[in-house]
């Protein structure tokens, strides 16, 4: 099972994402931002970092990269796509997911082990979890506050498109001011998922707070293999 990992100028976690894919049994395929095609991959990860230096807005330039010309229609056609941190920002800028990510409400950069609750365990990227399961993975961002208008937020809640939610601290606050504690969302079909925390940093013992991130990668590998068998 081939998972493409896109590298933009300024990507930081592309190698970590590729390693996570390999650790969980998949084959990682390097995709360059200037590639005109997706090299026949079965899924794609847009990794964390600062694509194109995060000039203008985070992800605003990356949405125009040549590789996105191939990725956007493929994602709308059902290709599993995971956007992590900056990758989530790219997905919202590309209108593959609704809402936007803005500066953390406390105006500081986060780098913490973050508790999350899995709200939707039926997406291509979360089927190895249980709904309501609590996991701990790494969160590191400066512009991670998820915002959307009330109509969009109600639709995300009502259609089960909130994938993971922050577990608030003792003061009742989440780490970046995200509306309704939303840490990650999906599209209606469930093949496109974006989240701010980093599951790729929680896949190996001694290299993160847990192994809780593995489920994102094992889920898509199992789902794709199952689809191939049933085809």
Catalytic residue among 24, 85, 143, 186: 85
Per-residue pLDDT of the chain (231 residues; tens, 9 = 90+): 999 999 999 999 999 999 999 999 999 999 999 999 999 999 999 999 999 999 888 999 999 999 999 999 999 999 999 999 999 999 999 999 999 999 999 999 999 999 999 999 999 999 999 999 999 999 999 999 999 999 999 999 999 999 999 998 878 899 999 999 999 999 999 999 999 999 999 999 988 999 999 999 999 999 887 777 776
Q: Which of 24, 93, 198, 201 is catalytic?
A: 198
CA–CA dist 36, 38 (Å, integer): 7
Residue pair 26/221 in contact by the 8 Å Cβ criterion: yes
Contacts of 137 (CB under 8 A, 6+ apart): 113, 114, 116, 197, 198, 199, 201, 202, 208, 209, 210, 212, 213
Q: Which domains does the chain have, with CATH numbers?
A: 2-230 (3.40.50.880)
Which listed residue (23, 119, 143, 200) is catalytic? 200
Packing angle, helices 14-23 and 214-230, rounded to 10: 60
Residue 186 bears catalytic tag: no
Q: Is 106 a catalytic residue?
A: no
Active site residue 201: no
């Amino acid at each position: 099972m081939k998972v493409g990992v896109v590298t933009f100028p300024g990507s930081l976690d592309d190698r970590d994402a590729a390693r996570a894919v390999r650790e969980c049994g998949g084959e990682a395929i390097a995709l360059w931002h200037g590639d005109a095609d997706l090299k026949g991959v079965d899924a794609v990860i847009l990794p964390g970092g600062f694509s194109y230096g995060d000039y203008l807005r985070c992800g605003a330039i990356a949405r125009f990269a040549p590789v996105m010309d191939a990725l956007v229609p493929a994602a709308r056609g059902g290709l599993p796509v995971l956007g992590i941190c900056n990758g989530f920002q790219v997905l919202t800028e590309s209108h593959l997911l609704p809402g936007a990510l803005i500066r953390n409400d406390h105006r500081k950069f986060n780098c913490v082990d973050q508790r999350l609750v899995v709200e939707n365990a039926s997406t291509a990227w979360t089927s190895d979890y249980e709904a309501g399961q609590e996991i701990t993975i790494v969160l590191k961002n400066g512009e991670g506050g998820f915002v959307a208008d009330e109509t969009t937020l109600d639709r995300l809640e009502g259609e089960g498109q909130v994938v993971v939610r922050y577990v608030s601290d003792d003061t009742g606050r989440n780490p970046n001011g995200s509306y309704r504690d939303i840490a990650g969302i999906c599209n209606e079909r469930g093949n496109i998922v974006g989240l701010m925390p980093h599951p790729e940093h929680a896949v190996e013992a001694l290299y993160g707070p847990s192994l809780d991130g593995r489920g994102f990668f094992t889920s898509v590998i199992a789902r794709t293999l199952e689809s191939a068998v049933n085809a």
